[in-house]
Structure 1
Amino acid sequence: MSAVGHPAATSRQPGRLTGNRDFLLLWVGSGVSALGSRATSISYTLLVFWSTGSATAASLVTFAALLPNLVTQLPAGALVDRWDRRRTMVLCNVGRIVAIGSVAVAVARDSVWLPHLMAVAFVEASLGICYALAERAAVFNVVPAERYGAATAANESRANAASILGQPAGAGLYALTRWAPFGFAVLMHVISLVTLLFVRRDLQAPKARADEPGGLLTRVREGFVFVWGQLYLRRALGLFAASNILFQVLGLGLVVIVKNLGGSSATVGMLLMVNSVFGMAGAMTSNFYLSRWGIRRIIMGVNIAWAVLMPLLALAPGLALAPGLVVLGAIFALIHYGAGISNVAGMLYVLQSAPDHLRGRAGSIVMLLSSGANSLGALFAGFLLDSTSITQAMLIVGGAMGVIAVLAVLGFGGRARAEAERAEAAERAGRATRDGGDMDGI
């Protein structure tokens, strides 16, 4: 496997991530930034609903915060590839500090205005997307090639930890005083900004700095052409998008099953927290599987495991409360453990397959597909659960997952396909404009 990024970025770095100063600064900075964003995500809803009593008004702010996932991803990926990554991340932090700070001031002065909150939610989410795309690409320039898997796993674990801690922190701070979660988010982004200023290494390869010809649409098109031209990357993204649709059904199905069993909303919250913990555990242990199986076998193995586990959810609705919750929790925990491993493997392959000057666009396309699949999955989930029983819905999900697992084996199994991957990786490695990654060689 050839190194991705410029060689100087790998040769002088320590082998262990704990000894890599620049990686730790990026990791901590992005982690506290994500924590602040998670805290505000729940605080917007609480603030609007408690201020207006309108669920519609609260949903408008949520919509504004989610809209960038669909409209900002592609231009953000193209711009991140053109701009200096360090400067981009600095400006994103400054922008979020100003935007969220304006909400903290407005709430402290008791002058909450819905359009203002919607605008800030949209701006904060858009800047967060740009920051995340730049940070993911930058990490590959501060760690040695043999630590790519560990770095990606550490980042996925960080995301799960932010999910576990962020929303409870936001709700708790809001209970103290309404402006507190927004002040907390400002502080987190300030810390993120300071850590970034102390990173010494260059965050992109010299060739990525070249001002490539063409406008924004041309650069977006280049990203799609690259992704579409990678046979195994294309297949992997198809599998990820399909399984994401099913995960939306599972998420809503969890709520339905708990209610049918006689559980409460607190029970749902507890199970969601357990899921996040197991997702983080999967990410933290993913490097163990990467080093022994490689990405190709992980993709097949996780999809097969999901195909076995998901139909078992049909058993839970027919049980009593206690055993039903145990079965439900155990199955969901295992599913999310696999998701943690799969997320690391998928993002590692995407970013490693792409050359440095295309990583922002490749990452944005992946996130766009995920967002689109989640949106479609949410619609499909409501229709399916309203039109069938929960037991039938889980069996349908299990059957669909079985088809996806078969496609994963057909797409990534077999010696011939492994040899084709190696040839494809070797071809990429020999090109002057990019470096490649072999899915079996990680």
Structure 2
Amino acid sequence: MADPVTGTDVPPLHRNRDFLLLWSGAAVSFLGNRVSAYAYPLLVLWHTGSPLAMSAVSCAALLPLLVVQLPAGALVDRWDRRRVMLACEAGRFLALGSVVTVLALGAFAPAHLVLVAFAESTLAVCYRLAERGAVRNVVHPTQLPPAISRNEARGRAAALLGQPGGVLLQTVAHWAPFAFTAGAHLLSLLTLMLIRRPFQERRPAGRRALRQDIAQGLRWLNGHRFLRAALGFLAAANLLLQAVPLALLLLVKEEGAAKAAVALIVGAGGLGGVFGALTGGWWERHLSRRTIFVLGLACWAVLTCAMVWARDPVLLGALFAGTGFVGAVFNVVGAVVQTRATPDALQGRVVGVSYLLGSGANALGALLGGLTLAAWGPAVTLLLVGALLTALATAAALAPALHTRHDLREGPVTP
């Protein structure tokens, strides 16, 4: 097995064999995951016609994002990352393969699909936590920003292609999306087996109770002033932004635009996210973290308010693309800061807590956004979201925790 990348052995990313294998394997895995995520509710709706059954499967697929993140982070930090990722891909291949088999035999059981959706999503959480920690061990520290930027673009592209892919494959055969996803996980498994470098540093001996490991990750993150404050602001912003796509749908409907307008707006948001991810490394190198953070929140506020007066689908799509761009830049910069600062042995726990805090309240945001839209309509809702985002940007500009002089570019800190 090869040694970790050192200062005297720094191939460019496009010639870093292990990074390319890790990146490409995760790319097909994430794409398969997005395809199946959109295929689950369509399959249930086709076979049962029941909104309740459809929501049960969707809930099963989303539930691990809320309940599995913390224990999964602790377990990933205990285990070998490569083995975790191999086990996750093998498990997802078998789970999706069981759906293909059942459908090919002409059978269908909603309970089976609920179990598969929960299992696949749980394994996806573990895979993602292990993959984030593995990246820093297959690239040189100076290449971490562009590597994470490419990873974020990969995830955005998978989300952009996954929705139409899941729908189109469903029209070919009901089992086709799940066969595609199973094949993607098998291909990802094969790429993992070809990687030579270790995915982690040497771990200290000894093991504590799981709750103690989780508590250690929470304490570390709580002790990092910038990350703690940034996650708090982003959690609030993400909660508010859940109402934006719902409001855009209502605006388009009020204007009597065709359904193609919705596809245009959603697609533009995805493209904006891809472009933001690809340029995230540039922003990280040329602006301070505080500047990126405050400026991004302010841009979200301006873009959201501007949607109130933009009725043309092309203009709405451009504004929505801007929100996706900012979100992707945030993800890249935040991931670089977190990955550099966090000790290797704590990566899983800290990333799990970050994911949970950053997006755990999204479901609540969608619910509150729906209630606000029902009460006041899309224009007032967008103005309210814009005003609250403006308040967040102002608070962030004044927050002492974001005015840190400590620059994490020198490398990770020790616990």
Give the TM interval when normalised to the shorter protein. over 0.9
Deviation at 1:264, TM superposition (A): 3.5
Q: Does 2:258 match 1:264?
A: yes
Report matched runs for 1:305-344 at 5 Å. 305-316=299-310, 319=311, 324-344=312-332
Aligned counterparts of 1:51 and 1:228: Cα–Cα separation in 2: 47
Q: Does 2:33 match 1:29?
A: no
Distance 1:15 1:425, change over 3 A: closer
Distance 1:389 1:418, change over 3 A: same
Report matched runs for 1:39-438 at 5 Å. 39-206=35-202, 209-316=203-310, 319=311, 324-411=312-399, 417-419=403-405, 421-422=406-407, 433-434=414-415
Q: Deviations over 1:106-157 (max 9, x none)?
A: 0101111011000000000000000000001100111111111101100000
Aligned counterparts of 1:23 and 1:294: Cα–Cα separation in 2: 27
Deviation at 1:166, TM superposition (A): 1.5
Contact preservation (8 Å) 2:248, 2:378:
no
SS of residue in 1 equivalent to 2:174: coil
Deviation at 1:308, TM superposition (A): 2.1
TM-score (norm 1): 0.90
Give the residue type in structure 2 aligned to 1:177. A
Aligned counterparts of 2:81 and 2:25: Cα–Cα separation in 1: 14
Contact preservation (8 Å) 2:264, 2:313:
no
Aligned counterparts of 1:177 and 1:110: Cα–Cα separation in 2: 12
Aligned counterparts of 2:245 and 2:346: Cα–Cα separation in 1: 33
Deviation at 1:383, TM superposition (A): 1.4
Give the residue type in structure 2 aligned to 1:232. F
Deviation at 1:100, TM superposition (A): 0.6
Give the residue type in structure 2 aligned to 1:402. T
Aligned counterparts of 1:412 and 1:303: Cα–Cα separation in 2: 17
Contact preservation (8 Å) 1:49, 1:58:
yes
Give the residue type in structure 2 aligned to 1:244. N
Aligned counterparts of 1:48 and 1:412: Cα–Cα separation in 2: 50
Contact preservation (8 Å) 1:39, 1:181:
yes
Aligned counterparts of 1:413 and 1:308: Cα–Cα separation in 2: 24
Contact preservation (8 Å) 1:48, 1:57:
yes
Give the residue type in structure 2 aligned to 1:175. T
Deviation at 1:418, TM superposition (A): 4.0
Aligned counterparts of 2:46 and 2:81: Cα–Cα separation in 1: 39
Aligned counterparts of 2:301 and 2:58: Cα–Cα separation in 1: 32
Aligned counterparts of 1:42 and 1:233: Cα–Cα separation in 2: 32
Aligned counterparts of 1:227 and 1:217: Cα–Cα separation in 2: 16
Deviation at 1:283, TM superposition (A): 0.5
Q: Deviations over 1:276-318 (max 9, x none)?
A: 01100010011111111133321122112222222111213xx
Distance 1:425 1:17, change over 3 A: closer
Distance 1:399 1:106, change over 3 A: same
Give the residue type in structure 2 aligned to 1:225. R
Aligned counterparts of 1:266 and 1:351: Cα–Cα separation in 2: 40
Give the residue type in structure 2 aligned to 1:181. P
Aligned counterparts of 1:273 and 1:211: Cα–Cα separation in 2: 49
Q: Deviations over 1:369-428 (max 9, x none)?
A: 1332212211210111111132111111111010111122112799xx343x24x988x9
Aligned counterparts of 2:400 and 2:103: Cα–Cα separation in 1: 53
Moved more, 335-344 or 226-235: 335-344
Deviation at 1:12, TM superposition (A): 5.3
Give the residue type in structure 2 aligned to 1:179. W
Deviation at 1:165, TM superposition (A): 1.2
Distance 1:303 1:240, change over 3 A: same
Deviation at 1:326, TM superposition (A): 2.8
Deviation at 1:236, TM superposition (A): 0.5
Give the residue type in structure 1 aligned to 2:65. N
Deviation at 1:179, TM superposition (A): 1.1
Moved more, 212-221 or 232-241: 212-221
Aligned counterparts of 1:373 and 1:307: Cα–Cα separation in 2: 19
Aligned counterparts of 1:39 and 1:120: Cα–Cα separation in 2: 14
Deviation at 1:37, TM superposition (A): 0.8
Deviation at 1:15, TM superposition (A): 4.2
Deviation at 1:50, TM superposition (A): 0.5
Q: Where does structure 2 lack aligned partners over 5 or more consecutive residues?
A: none
> Given the alignment, which residue of 12, 16, 40 partners 2:12?
16
TM-score (norm 2): 0.95
Distance 1:16 1:296, change over 3 A: farther
Q: Deviations over 1:259-278 (max 9, x none)?
A: 11112333212211111011
Q: Deviations over 1:230-266 (max 9, x none)?
A: 1111111011101101210112111111111112333
Deviation at 1:105, TM superposition (A): 0.2
Aligned counterparts of 2:397 and 2:303: Cα–Cα separation in 1: 17
Aligned counterparts of 1:371 and 1:200: Cα–Cα separation in 2: 34
Aligned counterparts of 2:7 and 2:187: Cα–Cα separation in 1: 29
**1:438 equivalent in structure 2:** none
Contact preservation (8 Å) 1:10, 1:142:
no
Contact preservation (8 Å) 2:264, 2:317:
no
Moved more, 336-345 or 229-238: 336-345
Q: Where does structure 1 lack aligned partners over 5 or more consecutive residues?
A: 1-6, 435-442
